[in-house]
Amino acid sequence: IYERNRIKSPTIQTADMSGSQQQEQPQEQPQEQSQEQPQEQPQEQPQEQPQEQPQEKRSGEPTDYDVLVIGAGISGLAAANELLRLRPDCRVAVVEAKDRVGGRTLGHRMRTAGGGEANFDLGGMWIGPSQRNISELMRQLHIEQYPQYLTGRKCAEMGAKVAQYTGEIPYIGLVGLLDMGKVLVQMERRVRQVDAADPGACRTAAQLDGLTGQALFNSLSWSRATKCLVQAAARTIWGAALSRMSALYMLAYASAAGGFQALVASDAQSGQGFRMKGGAHQICQRLAERLGPQRVLLSAPVAAVRQLDDRVCLDIVGRSAPLTARYAVSSAPPHLLAQLDWQPPLPARKLDLYRCSPVGHIFKFVITYETAFWRELGYSGEIVSADGPPTAPGLTAAPISVCFDYSQEGGHDPALVVLSGGLQAQELDGLSPEQRRSAVLEHISRFFPRDRVLDCLDFAEKNWRHEPFNGGCPVNIVSAGAAHLMGPNMRAPFGRVHFAGTETATEWCGFMDGAVQSGHRAAEEVSQRLGGQ
C-alpha cells in the first residue's frame, strides 16, 4: 500500500547505519528567530536507491504539515501515532529514506519443518518483562508474546575450552567465580551512581568518561575467564568491543536497563526473556497501517534540514520542492544526523556528541531445521563464545558471539539464531556468504552433533553494516571523552526540531522499549508546543 507513495530518487551515498523525557532546550541555539529554531534530522535510509530521474510531486500531494517525522522505525512511527492520539487533527507525515518501514527490525520468510514456511526476525526480536513501553504498545497492536526457550544445558567456550552449565554463569573455577561475583557487585554499585537521563551529572563523570569500558573492567577484574565472558556479552549488546566506548556511557546504558546484571543476563526476567508471536517486524507494519499510506512517504531520503522563523523545511533527494512543517521530529541514529546539512548549523556540543557516536557492527544468522535436535539432547540451544579457535581462513577467532533457540512457540518451526558482533562481525564481513555459512555451522558443530548441525533446511544472514541508511546495528555507542555530553545534548530540541530514537531513551536505551519511550516523549514535547500556538 505504500508503493503509491514512494518518491523515486537517484543513487545516494550510503550512510552508516543503525527518546526520553523532559523537553530540554539545547545549550546552544542559533540566533533567535521568531519562535524557536530547528534541529537536525537524519534518517534511516532505504536499500540502495534506484538510478532513476527525480520526480516532481504528484498532483494534490501535500507539502506542508504540522509535524514531519524523520524515520519509519519503531521510534518514528510511535511518535507519529502518539501525536495523532494527542491531537487527532494534526497534519503529520513520516518521511523514510528506505523503501520499507521497520528501521532496525526486519522480517524474513524461511523454509521450515514439514515443508512449511515462517517469518523470522533478522533485526530486533527480544523483549523483557520490565520493558513497559513496548509491552503496552504490543497490547494496543494486539501482538502477543511467548517465553524464550531456556530449558536445558547451556554451552560456553573460552579459548579452546568448552564448558556446559545450567545456571546463569558457566563454571570457570572457584577463583573465576569469586572474581565474577566481585565484579558484578562493583559494577552494580557504579551503575547506581549514574543517572541515565544525565550521565554528566555523576560526581565522577569526568574520571569515568576518561576511561574506556575495557579499562574499567581491567581495574575491577584479574580473571581472564571473567574478562572473556564480559567481552563476549559486550559484542552482543553493543556490537562493539568495550575498548571502543566510554566507561561513563557503558554505566549509563546499564542504568537505563535497570542494572548491569539486568542488561547482560539471558534469563526469563531479562531483556531477552520473551519474543513476539509473528515477529517484532510486525510492530512497524501495524503502526504504519494505523497511520495510513498517505502519511508514510518511502524512498524519501532527507538531505538537508533548514529552519526558518516559523517553519522547518526538509530537502528530499530527488524532489524539487521541500516538505515543510511547523515542527519536526527526528528518529534517525546520531551518526546519520551528523551527516545532514543543517541550516542553521547544529549546536557544537550536539554535533560533537553525534560525531563521537559510532554504530555497532552485527551479523545475524537464522538457521532452520526439521527437528530441534538440541532439545532432544537436553540442550537449551544457548551458546556463548569468547575467543574460540577460528573456523575459517581469514578469521582470528570463532565467529559466534552467542546462539539461542529460535523455534516458534511450542517448539514449532525449529531454528537457531546466531549473533556475531564487533571484531567477529568485521572479520566475517571479509568472507563470502558461502564461507560465512560454513564458518558458522562448523562453530556450532563444536557443541552439537556435526551431522545434524550441517543438515539444515534454510540459512539466512543479515549484515547490518551493509544496510543502507543504517550502516550498523544494534545501537550507537559513545566514545571515551564524549559521554559527558549525553543527556540533555542527546535529547534537547534544536529550534523547531525534536529528537527521538532509542539512543535518546532513558529507559532501556538501545532496545525496542527505548525506541517507544523516546518516540512518545518527543510527541508529547511537540504536542505541547502546538497547543501554545
- In order, the DSSP letters of 45-87 are --SPPP-----PPPTT---EEEEEEE--SHHHHHHHHHHHHH-
Distance of CA 86 to the CA centre of its chain: 27
CB contact set of 15 (below 8 Å; sequence gap of 6+)? 42, 45, 335, 336, 339, 468, 469, 470, 471
d(CA 161, CA 449): 17
* Number of residues assigned to the chain: 533
User: What is each CA distance from 232 to 176, 376, 405, 510, in whole angstroms?
Assistant: 16, 27, 18, 18
- In order, the DSSP letters of 376-423 are HTTEEEEEEEESPPPSSTT-SS-S-SEEEE---GGG-S-EEEEEEETH
97 is in an annotated binding site: yes
CB contact set of 368 (below 8 Å; sequence gap of 6+)? 110, 111, 112, 113, 120, 413, 414, 415, 456, 457, 458, 459
The cell numbers describing 117, all together, are: 514456511
Given a contact cutoff of 8 angstroms between Cβ atoms, the answer to whether 6 and 58 are in contact is no
302 is in an annotated binding site: yes
d(CA 15, CA 70): 15
Burial degree of 431 (CB within 10 A; 0-12, 13-18, 19+): middle
392 is in an annotated binding site: no
* Binding site members for FAD: 75, 96-97, 302, 503
* Binding site members: 75, 96-97, 302, 503
